[in-house]
Amino acid sequence: MERRTTTPRPGWQQTVEEQGLIYPLTRHPDGELRPYWDESAYYVFSLPEVEALEEVVEELHTMCLAAAAHIVEHDRLADLGITEPHLASLVTEAWRRRDELPSLYGRFDLRYDGSGAPAKLLEYNADTPTSLVEAASPQWFWMEERFPGADQWNSLHERLVDAWRKQAPLLPPGSPLYFAHSAGDELGEDLMTVAYLRETADQAGLATDAISVEDIGWDRLSRRFVDKKLRFIRSCFKLYPWEWLTTDRFAPYVLETLDNGGGTGTTLWIEPAWKMLLSNKALLAVLWELYPGHPNLLAAHLDGPRDLATTTGYVAKPLLGREGAGVTVHEPGLPPSGPPRREPCCYQELAPLPDFDGNRVVLGAWVVEDEAAGLGIRESSGLVTDEYARFLPHVIL
């Protein structure tokens, strides 16, 4: 793994916009627009290096599924903050019937520096992962233009189309598959991701339609979710976290109509409810319990940092935090700063992101169904990768 600098292509902004990345620039808190897509540098990997990372990702995915099974079998959903009995029951039932419920993709965030040390799992974004479009499309075309004949860890598009084809028989007939995102998406990231996933479903031959979450209605007579034309929504891919879907004002209706069995008034949601077991930071602590000392895991606990406070230091992560929100970093041996954490957290061993020329790097390794499918790389200036991180392409040489 090596970071190399280069000169961006003339007209790069228009190019990546035409390839689906509708926000190549990000407005920072100081009001300045800076590149989100950053091709002034790129990362180089060797083929054996990528093959080894693929094996790590698929092993981690298998371990996460085993951890989800453990959570269900030992009735530990409360450790994830899933305490409402009906919701816990629905998540459990969804897990037990997971072979009958479509499940598409996820993204592992990994610490890796190319030094020969094993990659370490930072977290698993298994419910509503983004940065998909830039990983699947613009960086592939960048590689073809800048390094014709080279390769890239990137089979995302083909695998997504194939996944929809395989899972088509699980979708209820007589209705399009809706693709939903929140209209409050200021950056356009969710809209872009949903539009791209809908395109892959279209290419797989599925009938699809688009809708905003805010435009999903509830028909009180039929007790069904409907679109603005009062058509029954039988299946819906939602880029809307389960923890929001099950706590907002429509939550009672979601729980009433959750399709774990295929009833006539139910709605099939993708991702399925059992993904709540994987998208929660408590998963990191359960993994450490089940696989203590595993070379690709960082020590993690739910009841406090334990000895991490004096040995390695630790990172406190809210169980349902996103884009680095609420994450605090604690160096070893230093007294806690700030008020005590009130929300449930996972306390994970501090493993600072590798520094490449002043840039902190995290690898986003994609899984489609159960197979490793591609890589996206983000850089930030600080230890926490947040919404102001930059996306850089990569190539295998």
pLDDT of residue 64: 98
Residue range 257-286: average pLDDT? 84
Give yes or no for residue 286 having a pLDDT over 60.
yes
Whole-angstrom Cα Rg for the chain = 21
Question: pLDDT tens digits for 35-90?
Answer: 899 999 999 999 999 999 999 999 999 999 999 999 999 999 999 999 989 899 99
- The model's pTM: 0.93
pLDDT of residue 337: 62
Number of Cβ atoms within 10 Å of the Cβ of 106: 25
Provide the residue ranges of all domains of the chain, joining segments of one domain with +: 2-279+355-396, 299-349
Question: pLDDT tens digits for 175-215?
Answer: 999 999 988 766 678 899 999 999 999 999 999 999 999 99
pLDDT of residue 341: 67
